Amino acid sequence: MRKTLVWSAVAAVGLSLGLTAAPASAAVAMQDLSPEVQQVVDNLPAMRERAEAVRAELGLADSPVRDALLAAIDPTQYECSSATPPVVAAIMPDVAAWSFEQRLAVLHVLLFDMAMLDAVYFPQSGPFSYGVRGEFTHTVNKTFQNLKGFWDIPSSDVELVPAHGRIMLDAERDYRVFTVLYGADPAASRVSADLVARELNSAALGYGDLPLFTFNAYAAPGGEDVPAYGASHRRIAFGDGVLEGFAKIGLGDVAPQAILAHEFGHQIQYSDGLMRTDLPAPESARWAELMADAFSAYFLTHARGEAMNWKRVQAFGQMFYQLGDCGFTSAGHHGTPNQRMGSALWAYGVADAARPQGFVLPARSFYDLFAARYPQLIAPDATT
């Protein structure tokens, strides 16, 4: 089970329609609903009010389980904007001048998440660099070492690798992704791989390094069978695009640490068995993502972690806010913007209140605090 950070499939939908911009998330794009379903959504507040009134009349007892489930899935009780987050707007290219072949190649890249999956599942050779020009290499490597020393989980086998879009200029690597990971038809895969390698090798498509292609980060638990390659490695793959995107909006000094700490939080979950496989996909995903946000924020603000001050806490809080969504039925639901911001700021409070300041909570102890706080973090937050 790999954890994803952002929305490549959504961008693919926009590009497939010839759009110059994509919605912030599939969840927020309520206009995609059929008229009938939209009517149900519009009527839901009144229907819920009526249901509660009838329950009261009948004397039906409250159920904590029912209340928690309603709080988790009711899209009318949370605050979400339909505006495109600045970080997404910053990386969206103008596709108007792209040829049909270029659009088709990009559609392959995004639908199959090619550069990222190559990084996660296939052998990688160093030395590694992070960022298109290697400009984040020192920060990323230093943060990774600090994370390993900060948290008390076995982490010597966790690998950190970059995801560079330029690797897709190699048709053989593209072909490998199509056939080995997706099991696609070899003949069709050969044609598609050649198309991707040829069309990406152009200035219009950044010679493979458009931020859109690698605007993501993955944490993989390892142990997954990759045909002809054996068991996959325990790994974090860090895309150049997500680093570049946040640098474009002035968060280049905090985003690398925050994103890597979030992905390392997933490695803590894998190591300590903290995933909630008993929950349905949207809620299990939100549980995992908000916890990873909290692990990240605790490390970033702790005196023995990155020791970031309040100004930077606000900066990465805003970053998490931009990555929130209201995809209550999506298997990749990450939590609403307010929930992500709240998780980060709650964890900052835990780190700030630590006594003595140098004391680091064991991962399990921090998890216990998070689990106790979780019902408040996901409580309805709509103000209108």
373 within a domain of the structure (yes/no)? yes
Using one digit for the tens of pLDDT, what is the confidence trace for 244-257?
A: 999 999 889 999 99
| 280-305 mean pLDDT | 90
Same domain (yes/no): 232, 358: yes
Q: What's the pLDDT band for 119 if we cut at 50, 70, 90?
A: very high
**Shared-domain flag, residues 119 and 237:** yes
250 and 308 in one domain?
yes
Count up the domains in the chain and report the number.
Answer: 2
Residues 63 and 142 in one domain: no
Please report whether residue 170 resides in a domain: yes
* Distance in angstroms (rounded) separating the CA atoms of residues 53 and 33: 29
pTM of the entire predicted model = 0.80
Give the closest residue to 108 by CA, choosing from 182, 162, 2: 182
- Domain of residue 136, residue span: 8-25+83-377
Contact 164, 214 (CB under 8 A): yes
In a domain, 154, yes or no: yes
**Residues above pLDDT 90, as percent of the chain:** 51
Q: How many residues does the chain have?
A: 384
pLDDT at res. 284: 86
Is the pLDDT at 21 greater than 60? The verdict is no
Q: Do the beta carbons of residue 120 and residue 263 sit within 8 Å?
A: no
CA distance 284 to 317: 22
Cα four-point dihedral sign 8, 12, 13, 14: positive
Residues 61 and 164 in one domain: no
- Indicate if 271 and 138 belong to the same structural domain: yes
Q: Is the link from the previous residue into 356 a cis peptide, with omega within 30 of 0?
A: yes
pLDDT tens track for 265-288: 999 999 999 998 888 777 888 899
Residues 65 and 154 in one domain: no
Residue 1 has pLDDT above 80, yes or no: no
44 and 173 share one domain: no
Residues 222, 223, 225, 230, CA torsion sign: positive
What pLDDT is recorded for position 26? 31
Q: 20-24, 55-59, 94-98, 370-374: lowest mean pLDDT where?
A: 20-24
Domain membership of residue 2 (yes or no) is no
Judgement on whether residues 41 and 127 belong to the same structural domain of the protein: no
- The reply to whether 67 and 200 lie within a common domain is no
The pLDDT of residue 126 is 86
Over residues 226-237, the mean pLDDT reads 95
List Cβ neighbours of 81 (8 Å cut-off, separation of 6 or more): 24, 28, 337
- 66 plus 146 within the same structural domain: no
